[in-house]
Amino acid sequence: MTQVYAADHVLPVGAEPIRGGAVAVADGVIVAVGPRDRVLADHPGATVEDLGAAALMPALVNAHTHLEYAAYGGFGDGLPFADWLADHIARRPRQAPGDVEAQAALGALLCLQSGVGTIGDASYAGASLAAATEAGLRGTVHLEGFGGPDADPAAVAAALAGRLDALAPAATGLVRLGVSPHSPYTAAPAVFAALVALARERGMTAMAHVAESVAELEAVADGTGPIADALAALTRIEATGRHPVDLLDAAGLLGPGLVLVHAVQLDAGQARRVGAAGAPVVHCPRSNALLGCGIAPVRALADAGAVLAIGTDSPASAGDFDLWAELRAAVQLARAREGRADALTAAEALRMATLGGARALGLEGAVGALAPGLRADLVAVDLADAAFDPVEDPAVAVLMAGSPERVLLTIVDGVLRYRRSADAQRLAAAIAAAEPARRRMIEDRD
């Protein structure tokens, strides 16, 4: 059965916007994109849903999430990065069995509510895999690995390989597994290299937090500073004498399979080397701003040819999983950094959240655009009565007006996963299920 979705505006991303457009879907695949009348004429027996004053576009790609921290919103706000990190670590043991799973389930649903069809998750406990699968999301769950300079790299990699093997039977649908050497300061150089090697051996993506803060630069170069102090009870940090990007480049680890999250603290030369290496960068502007880490050099990275994606990070740093708010922050902060109103356009930002995210996660050719032959991942955004209606530029309108509250529906692989008019109780139940975890992390300080 063919299903046609029609809307006042269709944004294919890989092609020009279509006013009065439609998308036809059959068996989870997009079979037609074009003017409404033509698509309907070519599919006379199709079921039709007319979304009216809405923008229909590829489901968004939130390329860096931590679903398991869905209840952490606002914790440690205003603390310096290292102190915030220590606070984050201290709260984790206060949780009870089932808390992580409840948060991951909530995080997955909140992503769907935001119009996200694909995630790139960094997972401490592995609970994100079941949560994303149950919600019907697409994506990759990267299991985090840690190990200081005194750890045996082979043993760390073997332990993570065992975790991957244990979870592999559950990764049989839309959600894949990956590897996350957490960062160059929590995974010593030899450990980091062993984990990237594990990912490469298994054909998986690796994802790491890299060059996020000035404190990280000191920790990686000198093995000292506030991050080293914050982690002293857990591990020591190896002094490498290098910037994190220089360290990874010298080790031959920069490349398409290593997704760099944040990449805030880069100079012009490092931005060019990241672009030349083909290492994707996931920009998390609200997290970086709220933690006082700075503004990533998005324009320089784009000009260097880097694959740019966007992610919300976790509510622990960004406050929520609202990717529309993230997109607006990306545009605003890029323009503020460069002092230019064209430093990042609405169309460029939307590409980061669609095609860019798909490329970063190795899904180019499957999702990230609306075109015949691609998987049917779509989002419809209600523009009725928005400040941008009537619409002049649909990319500007959807970026500026988009919000979880305006997402009408989210479709993944041709299946309706979220509908605004039907899922209020489902959301409320997920919020209620995760609330005890948040309460314990606030109140249980023993």
What is the structure's pLDDT at 443?
A: 86
400 lies in a domain?
A: no
Rg of the Cα atoms in the chain: 21
Please, what is the average pLDDT of the chain? 97
Cα 63 versus chain centre, distance: 2
Q: Structure tokens of 182?
A: 């957490």
What is the structure's pLDDT at 444?
A: 65
What is the structure's pLDDT at 445?
A: 58
Residues near 273 by beta carbon (within 8 Å), at least 6 away in sequence: 245, 249, 254
Residue carrying the six token digits 């068996």:
27
Q: Structure tokens of 52?
A: 């009216």
249 lies in a domain?
A: yes
Lowest mean pLDDT among 84-88, 118-122, 303-307: 84-88
Q: What is the rounded average pLDDT of the residues 346-354?
A: 98
395 lies in a domain?
A: no
Residue carrying the six token digits 């700075």:
294
Model confidence pLDDT, tens digit, residues 273-296: 999 999 999 999 999 999 999 999
Residue 375 has pLDDT above 60, yes or no: yes
What is the structure's pLDDT at 128?
A: 98
439 lies in a domain?
A: no
Model confidence pLDDT, tens digit, residues 334-343: 999 999 999 9
337 lies in a domain?
A: yes
415 lies in a domain?
A: no
298 lies in a domain?
A: yes
**8 A C-beta contact, residue 248 and residue 207:** no
Model confidence pLDDT, tens digit, residues 256-274: 999 999 999 999 999 999 9
Structural domain boundaries enclosing 336: 60-360
Model confidence pLDDT, tens digit, residues 77-101: 999 999 999 999 999 999 999 999 9
Residue 446 has pLDDT above 60, yes or no: no
Q: Structure tokens of 60?
A: 């968004």
What is the structure's pLDDT at 103?
A: 98
104 lies in a domain?
A: yes
pTM: 0.97
Separation in Å, CA 403 to CA 344, 382, 386, 406, 416: 20, 9, 11, 5, 18
Model confidence pLDDT, tens digit, residues 36-76: 999 999 999 999 999 999 999 999 999 999 999 999 999 99
Q: Is the peptide bond before 390 cis (omega within 30 degrees of 0)?
A: yes
Q: What is the rounded average pLDDT of the residues 361-389?
A: 96
CATH of the domain at 174: 3.20.20.140
Model confidence pLDDT, tens digit, residues 7-37: 999 999 989 999 999 999 999 999 999 999 9
Total number of domains in the chain? 1
Please report which helix (H) or strand (E) contains residue 210, including its range.
Answer: strand 206-210
Model confidence pLDDT, tens digit, residues 164-219: 999 999 998 899 999 999 999 999 999 999 999 999 999 999 999 999 999 999 99
